[in-house]
Each structure stands twice: as structure tokens, then as C-alpha cells.
Amino acid sequence: MSEEHYLELCENPVQFENTSSVNNVFFDEANKQVFAVRSGGATGVVVKGPDDKNSVAFRMDDKGEVKCIKFSIGNKILAVQRTPKSVDFISFIPDYPHWECSQECKMKNASILGFCWTNWNEIVFITDQGIEFYQVLPDKRSLKLLKSQSVNVNWYMYCPETAVILLSTTAQGNVLQPFAFKSGTMSKMPKFEIELPVVPKPAKLNLTERDIAVATIYGQLYVMYLKHHSRTTDSPCAEVVLYQLPREGSCKKTNVLKLNTTGKFALNVVDNLVVVHHQSSQTSIIFDIKLREPDCALNVHQPVLPGRSIHPYRIPLTGPAAVPTHPPVPCELCILYEMFSPACLTCAVCSPFASGYLWYLQVKLPPTVNLLQDKGKLMDFLLRRRDCKMVILSVCAQSKTGGLPVVATVFDKLNQVYKEYLEAEQTYTVATESGTSRGSSARERPVRTRAVIDQSDMYTHVLSSFSEKKDTSHKFIIAVLMEYIRSLNQVQITVQHYLYELVIKMLVQHNLFYMLHQFLQYHVLSDSKPLACLLLSLESTYPPAHQLSLDMLKRLSTANDEIVEVLLSRQQVLGALRFIRSVGGHDNISARKFLDVARQTADQMLFYTIFRFFEQRNLRLRGSPSFNPGEHCEEHVVYFKQVFGEQALMKQVTV
């Protein structure tokens, strides 16, 4: 079924001709470029990359068959190898005079196996006798040897992301010597040995470049070895063995990926997943080295999902045979089963078109939801993927099928990631404000990945719509809401008031007032001003909500003004006055506000009491019982005189 294809090709492949007029096609993994080279008189070169901006076409003198061709980073300098002894260089630096030069390898009787650009003007020659590290000097139109190392080399492998070169040494080729390059320096890393499978004597097995790939997975450099066992062994199935190659320290075997079959394979690394393509079955499987099977030994991995073919791709017909109304033709993928490219590109040849295509391979997350039944494992898998947010939210919205234990597991995994992001953000803020990063490397602001699902996301996309479902028990919905709140509290994340409001509305809607009272009494729902205001609005439906609101406001201790407003709104003027005196704020309150409400009650004795209180306050604070003009109490003074007489006004005490 099409919806089960969890691997697909990008929409805009890099297309290059593969006709008889094209002598050679080269792939430069560092720049993700394809070079189509034609010879005849002058050598024509067409360079295409993942987008049109990287496309370049030019001609150069025909000086012999091109064995290798690559641009430096940024397409500034072109390197072309035609002979085993030298590499030619052509400048493409913008607004710079054109120049060309050639560089022979320094080691006598050495043959150049290939070369790698490590910077826009730094290049490494790999020969059968070692490596030579050069700096290109455009001003001098020459190269400067920075460093060299002698070692017998069978073949080499380069990881452009980390600028690390692996050299295969020894007769069997299974001792690998890595070198790291950075800012004009070359560092020799500890060599290590690939453990080869046991074969019957006297046969010997050699390690070739087809068996090895290098890639960065979860920020760490790994050497991947495709290990084929002898058919005479108990476990003849192939496996991929991962060796972690740290910048410092020795390389160590860390993971084994069980392929559970034999045959010819190709590898990709996509979104930190190892993708293994099986030629005979035309299917692909994926591995996540951060997921471990409970029934497997440590770091031994089974495929995360069952094998599936790559989603079919259709290519529009072009050229003389094309018909405007003709539908796109299905493309039969003929994956090049070589180990040269573990990056996110799948190289394929489309036989009906005499053309080649280079695609980015990408993972489709929605089909994985139904293929991975263990929701906890599914959440671990999704949280590490790009563009996972909406898929995760859709899983949460469908969580009723798994029951509360599954819901709890999902929420806990999400909130752990959420908490880690909040802590990183807080650490960054504190360091920035305190200036602790001065004199040291500047701390980078934490990146909010798509895996961070905050309370707003959960409320908008899951909980609010979940609470409106008619086909779900309201008790289960309330339980889900409380489970999310529990999970937030467990990792000490402050719960936003709108989540509490959603719980209260659900309880009121289904007349669960006893449960509401219990939640508030035992502080399951944390105190907040917005929550207290919501309780006040429920007074007509549930009268005890008024007192619950006041109690909450008192506990907050920062809501004195709100409490006074609540009491005054109920015309409890004396209660408001007693409260404000109890917290020591009576010297600063507005006399007019209290007198307005007292007069609205039509209780003359209440008005008299309140009026007299403020006269006494004025006398104590200013030595006069009269109100200042700025208090705007003139109309209340007039009313007092009308009702009680002018003689009832407090007289100023003279000393």
C-alpha cells in the first residue's frame, strides 16, 4: 500500500545526461555536485547541484582523459586529475584574474589515488604511499605543501562533514588510519582495525572500499562496515558494524545492525537513521542506533520498521517524444549498489531516458505511526526526527486507543524533551545576563527543535479538541487532562492557567462539582489569578466557587487588589475594608471607590461608617479629616451633609 512507503525521493532531483556523448560522470559528495564531462576538441563540463544556483557549465582544454574533477568549497577553485602524478587547478574566484597551475605529488614513484578539498583553498592528495596536504595560493598561482605523511595506502574514504580521511593500510586492508583536517592543520588520529569475518582456510578476506562507509550520526563520526559472513557459519546473514571515531581517543566498536538476510546492499544516512537498501528484494530498512530492542544484547539493533520499497517516482517526459497530455512515466530505480555515498543522496539511473538522476532520500513520518505499534518506542523514534511536530501531535490526538498508561508514557517522553529545552534556555539566559561567557567562547542560544512540544502546542492541537469529542467518555478526557498536568509537575514545569481552566470547564460541564472542590482543596489545580477569576464567574452555577476564589486569592498573597475588587463587586464593603486593614494597605486605598459602593447599597449607616473611617484616616495621616481635592470625594461630602447634617462632620482637632 502506498501509505506504507516510509521512504521517498525529493521532488527536484539533479538530472544529468548519461548518453554516449558523455565520457564520464563524477559525483562530488562534499559539494553534492554531479560533473558530466564530454571530450572532443575541447572538454565540456556541466556541473549540477541540488538547486539551480549550483549549476555551472564551462569548457577547458582537452589535456587527456579526466580521472577526477572537483570544485573546492564555494566553487572557487577547480581541481582536475588527468594523470597518476599531478592535479591541475583552474581559478573560478569571482572578480579575480584567471589563472591555472599544476601540482605534482612530492613522493617519488607515488601514484595519486584521488584528492579531497578540506577548505576553499586547502586540498589533500592521497597517493599509494601516503597523503600530502597543500594550501592553494591564488596570488602566487601555486601550491604550498603544509604537511605530508608516508604510509602504504590501498584505498581511502573521506567524510566532508568532519573533514576526516580514512586510509586503508596493511595487506588485508583492514587497518584504517584516520587523519583530521581543520584550519590548515593535519592531525593523525589513532589507527584501528576492522574485525573481518572468519573464512575457511586457506582463503583470505580483504577489506575493500565497497565494504566501508563513513557518516555523521547524531553528531558523532561513525565508520560503517558491511560485514558478510560465510555461508558455512551458524549466522550467515549480513550485518552492519558501526565503529565510533572520536576526535580524541581510540576508535571502538559500538553498534551492530542485523540485516537478517544476505545479498548486495547499499547504505544511506538520512535524518540520523541508517538506511540499508537490499538489491534482490528491492526493499529498504532503517535503523536508529538510539533505539535498543529489549530482547537484544547491548547495542545490537533490529530494523525499526519492516522492509518497504521506496515510494514510486514518476518523471515527466521531455524532448521530441514528449506529448503535452502524456502522463509522467514511472521511474524504475536502479540503485547503484556501491558504498561510496552514505550521505542523503541516492544515485539512480533511469534506463528509458538515457539520463541519470540524483535524489535526496527522505523519510516520511506519517506511515511509521501505523507500522510501529509500541507507542513508547514510536515516540522515541519520532522525537529524534526532523519535521516531527505535527506527526507527534496527531499521535497524541489518537492516544485514547492505548489507554491511560500509554498516554502517560507519551506525555512523559514529550515533557522530558520540553524540560531539557527550558533548562537550556534558562542556563543561556543566566549566563548572558551575568556575563559569564566573557573571556571564553560565547555560549550559543539553544535551538528549539521541532521535537519541543510545549503546553500551547498541546492545548491547541490536542487537548482543546480532545475535550470536544462526543465519542469519548468525559471521565477519560478529564483523566487525560490530569495526566498531562501530572507529567508537567513531575518534571517541575509550571502549568499554564489555560490547562486548569480546561479541566474546570470540563468538570462544570458534567456537574462534577465535588471533584472540582477536591481538586482545589488539595491543590491539584495550582493557585493563580486567572483561575480565581474563572471560579468567580462560576458562582451562579456553583455558589461555593465564590469562597473558593477568595481563598485562592488570599493564598497567592500578591492578589490583594483583586480580592478587594471581588468583595466590592458583591457590595461587601466592610469585608473589603477589614481585609485591606489586615494586610496593612488601608492607608493607600481609594476613598472614593469605597464610598461609591457604600452609597450604592442604600444603607445609610454603612455609608456613615465608611465615611467616618476615611475621615479618621485623613486626620491621622494629614492632621485634618477633610478630603483632598485630588480624591474627588466632593459629591460624597455633600451627600453626607444632606443625610446626617453638617454638624456630623468630624471637626479638626486644634492643639
Read off the pLDDT of residues 167-213 as tens digits, 9 standing for 90 and up: 999 999 999 999 999 999 999 999 999 999 887 776 678 999 999 99
pLDDT for 562 equals 81
Q: What are phi and psi of 353, to 5 degrees?
A: -110, 0
CA–CA distance, 474 with 47 (Å, rounded to integer)? 62
Q: Are 385 and 372 in contact (CB under 8 A)?
A: no
Q: What is the sign of the dihedral through the CA atoms of 150, 152, 155 and 161?
A: negative
Q: At what angle do helices 591-600 and 634-644 cross, to 10 degrees?
A: 40
Of 272, 208, 294, 278, the C-alpha closest to 239 is: 278
CA–CA distance, 399 with 393 (Å, rounded to integer)? 10
Counts for the chain of helices (H) and strands (E), in that order:
16, 31
Q: Are strands 313-315 and 329-331 parallel, antiparallel or unpaired?
A: antiparallel
60 to each of 40, 82, 314, 435, how far by Cα in Å? 11, 13, 35, 55
Write the CB contacts of 139 (distance below 8 Å, at least 6 apart in sequence): none
pLDDT for 92 equals 94
125 to each of 68, 104, 262, how far by Cα in Å? 12, 10, 36
pLDDT for 648 equals 86
- Grid cell 488539595 is found at 522
DSSP 233-262: SS----EEEEEE--SSS--EEEEEEE--S-
- The amino acid present at 324, given as its one-letter code, is P
DSSP 58-86: EEEE--S--SEEEEPTTS-EEEEE-SSSE
Q: Are strands 345-350 and 329-331 parallel, antiparallel or unpaired?
A: unpaired
pLDDT for 235 equals 74
- Grid cell 499521535 is found at 395
CA–CA distance, 311 with 313 (Å, rounded to integer)? 6
pLDDT for 389 equals 93
Element (H, E) at 458: helix 455-458
Q: What are phi and psi of 491, to 5 degrees?
A: -100, 15
Q: What are phi and psi of 88, to 5 degrees?
A: -95, 150
Q: Are 150 and 192 in contact (CB under 8 A)?
A: no
pLDDT for 147 equals 96
Of 280, 240, 271, 275, the C-alpha closest to 258 is: 240
CA–CA distance, 243 with 214 (Å, rounded to integer)? 9
- Sort 266 into a burial class: Cβ within 10 Å, 0-12 / 13-18 / 19+: buried
Q: What are phi and psi of 35, to 5 degrees?
A: -110, 120
Q: Are 120 and 74 in contact (CB under 8 A)?
A: yes
pLDDT for 330 equals 52
CA–CA distance, 85 with 63 (Å, rounded to integer)? 14
CA–CA distance, 250 with 177 (Å, rounded to integer)? 11
pLDDT for 320 equals 42
CA–CA distance, 422 with 418 (Å, rounded to integer)? 6
Low-confidence ranges of the chain (pLDDT < 70): 1-3, 16-21, 40-41, 52-54, 202-203, 232-233, 293-298, 315-356, 400-401, 436-443, 653-655
pLDDT for 121 equals 95
CA–CA distance, 56 with 648 (Å, rounded to integer)? 99
Q: Could you report how far apart the first and last alpha carbons of the chain are, in Å?
A: 100
Q: Are 18 and 356 in contact (CB under 8 A)?
A: yes
Q: What are phi and psi of 530, to 5 degrees?
A: -60, -35
Q: Are 367 and 389 in contact (CB under 8 A)?
A: no
**Beta-strand (E) ranges in 183-219?**
185-188, 192-193, 212-217
Beta bridge partners of 103: 87
Cell numbers linked to 323: 506529448
Of 559, 568, 566, 557, the C-alpha closest to 591 is: 568
Beta bridge partners of 130: 127, 150
Cell numbers linked to 314: 514518476
